[in-house]
Structure 1
Amino acid sequence: MTDRLPHEKGFHVSWDQIHRDARALAWRLDKRGPLDDGAWKSVVAITRGGMAPAMIVARELDIRTVDTISVKSYDHQSQSAAKVLKSPDQPLMGTGHGVLVIDDLVDSGRTLQLVRDLYPDAHYATVYAKPKGRDMVDTFITEVSQDTWIFFPWDMALQYVEPYRGT
């Protein structure tokens, strides 16, 4: 058996799968907001990975106010210190009350910790969660092991992939 790099234990997510999982996230969040009748004020996507799930959640829950927060915490497949590159509209955000902050994945939790420090009253939701970051997220759909690298459809092209156990 050969040693594998962390990204070689891959979980490949198709466009269909991310769409289904983001809709499931929306259903889980439906009527659970802090506003009248369980509504949410707005959706804020953590760029770039949170944009597709946030768009789907906003559509499913009929939330028309959508913004982004740009946080850089990866250089290709290695993590670095998280930093905010672009903040959402401050009057919209306030402390985050009534705001859904959406990302594709919580990994170590560093990105969400940074955003939570800025908007402590927001609700944090991801499609996928790893154990180290799971406590940073309020709602998620699927947990994967910490050593799994998720390949999202926006990062992939169609090509042959070696089987996990080799040829």
Structure 2
Amino acid sequence: MTDRLPHERGFHVSWDQLHRDARALAWRLDGRDWRAIVAITRGGLVPAMIVARELDIRTIDTISVKSYNKQEQGGLEVLKSPDPALMEDGDGILVVDDLVDSGRTLELVRNMYPKAHFATVYAKPKGRPMVQDYVTEVSQDTWIFFPWDMALQYVEPYRGSD
């Protein structure tokens, strides 16, 4: 068996799977009185839209945090903040992202809005303490391939060709 690079331990998520998982997240979040949803862009946009639809939440804003550069984590930078009048201290606000990995992005946003509720579709062990709700946990060394990052193409069999 050959050693694989860390990104080769992949979890490929289809559009259909993401939709089902985001709906499952919405079901876990149902029954609470949310004032608004804040999506962490870019990855949180699609799950936030699905959760907003399922829970009939019409007020949606975004926070843009840049933390990755070509699949390597770097410094955090808030590029765009949500409306301060909407956010206040975060009470009644649902913050949605696609994934919590190291937890650094959500920690930054949590410090900005300490009373907000944080939910992601997928969670890795290091970042899991940063979220109150998530659907699926994957190992820390798994790279999640989201549908917006992928194109259909031929893949060589794991054991190689005949």
* Fold-level similarity (TM above 0.5): yes
1:166 aligns with 159
SS at match of 1:131: coil
TM-score (norm 1): 0.93
Q: Are residue 131 (structure 1) and residue 125 (structure 2) matched? A: yes
Q: Which amino acid aligns with 1:125?
A: A
* Equivalenced residues, count: 160
**Gap regions ≥5 residues in structure 1:** 32-37
Aligned residue for 1:108?
102
Partner of residue 67, structure 1: 61
Query: Is 1:121 aligned to residue 115 of structure 2?
Result: yes
Instruction: Please state how far the C-alpha of 1:83 moved relative to its aligned partner.
Output: 1.5
SS in 1 for 2:126: helix
CA shift for structure 1 position 76: 2.0
CA-atom RMSD in angstroms: 0.9
Identity over aligned pairs, percent: 76
Gaps of 5+ in 2: none
Q: Distance in 2 between matches of 1:104 and 1:144?
A: 13
Runs ≥4 in structure 1, deviation > 4 angstroms?
none
What do the CA deviations read for 1:96-154 (whole angstroms, capped 9, x no partner)? 00000000000000000000000000000000000000000110000000000000000
Amino acid at match of 1:137: V
What is the match of residue 78 of structure 2? 84
